[in-house]
């Protein structure tokens, strides 16, 4: 292959890579952190329900964010019981719009200032649950669910998972104390048959900024092109260094 042609192709591919890098730098980066959730065994209303989970908040920009909750019903499957509802709060009223973009079947989300009571733990701003459906539509003992939210509002750049879980419910509460995250269990075939379980919070962890997938794909394609052109150039140099056979006389 003519070296000038190889050089032109390399320059063209490097240009593609340059554009990809600029797109990567200019693209929104998700900045987030996570907190581990576990059962507050000493504050359960009936001493029956248990769960574990991870609460992850990620701000795209000041007006857009995502929230991902991964919850597991850790009750003994031999005993049974269904996780049917959980509530938490809107930190500083930053959230003006909330969409549940992915969740187990039958779960729905709602947003309203102090609109959702879960006595004796007060009133909450955000509720996720199966509504008035049969408890068996919830998460059975041993099952896990992933709940993904798209958030609209303002001030997200200054928020974190900790901000959410520092925002407590408001009265009225009936001696249970004010909490920031509570889970409801139903259809437990023993005792009172249901339970309300506050969360304990583990160590939070920061998550590095994550580039948009499209920018990463573009950069990867550009780098792959550079590698392909470089291999072709090396092959051309090797071929040009082989002496041509001289015809016999």
Residue span of the structural domain in which 15 resides: 3-25+212-241
Residue tagged 């150039």 (tokens):
233
Do 52 and 110 lie in one domain? The reply is yes
Do 87 and 171 lie in one domain? The reply is yes
Concatenating the DSSP letter of every residue in 170-206 gives BS--SSS---SEEEEEE--SSTTS-EEEEEEEEEEEE
Q: How many domains is the chain built from?
A: 2
Each residue of 6-45: pLDDT tens digit? Answer: 456 554 555 554 544 444 444 455 568 999 999 999 999 9
Given this model, what pLDDT does residue 25 score?
45
Each residue of 96-146: pLDDT tens digit? Answer: 999 999 999 999 999 999 999 988 999 999 999 998 879 999 999 999 999
pLDDT band at 202, cuts 50/70/90?
confident
Do 67 and 135 lie in one domain? The reply is yes
Are 124 and 51 spatial neighbours (Cβ–Cβ below 8 Å)?
no
Q: State the DSSP code for 170.
A: B
Q: Which residues pair with 53 in a beta bridge?
A: 37, 71
Do 21 and 36 lie in one domain? The reply is no
Given this model, what pLDDT does residue 32 score?
80
Given this model, what pLDDT does residue 200 score?
94
Do 60 and 123 lie in one domain? The reply is yes
pTM: 0.72
Given this model, what pLDDT does residue 174 score?
59
Do 165 and 104 lie in one domain? The reply is yes
Given this model, what pLDDT does residue 3 score?
56
The listed range with the strongest mean pLDDT (119-133, 143-157, 177-191) is 143-157
């Amino acid at each position: 292959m003519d070296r000038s042609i190889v050089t032109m192709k390399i320059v063209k591919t490097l240009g593609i890579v340059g554009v990809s890098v600029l797109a990567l730098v200019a693209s929104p980066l998700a900045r987030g952190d996570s907190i581990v959730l576990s059962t507050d065994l000493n504050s359960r209303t009936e001493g029956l329900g248990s769960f574990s989970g991870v609460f992850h908040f990620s701000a795209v920009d000041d007006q857009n964010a995502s929230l991902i909750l991964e919850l597991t019903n850790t009750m003994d499957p031999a005993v049974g019981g269904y996780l049917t509802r959980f509530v938490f709060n809107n930190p500083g009223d930053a959230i003006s719009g909330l969409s549940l973009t992915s969740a187990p079947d039958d779960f729905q989300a709602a947003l309203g200032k102090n609109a959702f009571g879960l006595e004796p733990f007060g009133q909450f701003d955000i509720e996720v649950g199966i509504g008035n459906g049969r408890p068996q539509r919830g998460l059975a003992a041993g099952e896990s669910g992933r709940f993904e939210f798209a958030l609209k509002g303002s001030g997200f750049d200054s928020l974190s998972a900790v901000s959410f879980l520092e925002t407590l419910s408001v009265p009225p509460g009936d001696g249970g104390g004010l909490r920031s995250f509570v889970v409801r269990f139903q259809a437990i075939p023993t005792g009172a048959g249901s339970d309300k379980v506050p969360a304990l919070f583990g160590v939070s962890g920061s998550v590095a900024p994550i580039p948009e997938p499209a920018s990463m794909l573009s950069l990867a394609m550009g780098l792959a092109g550079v590698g392909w052109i470089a291999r072709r150039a090396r092959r051309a140099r090797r071929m040009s260094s082989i002496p041509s056979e001289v015809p016999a006389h």
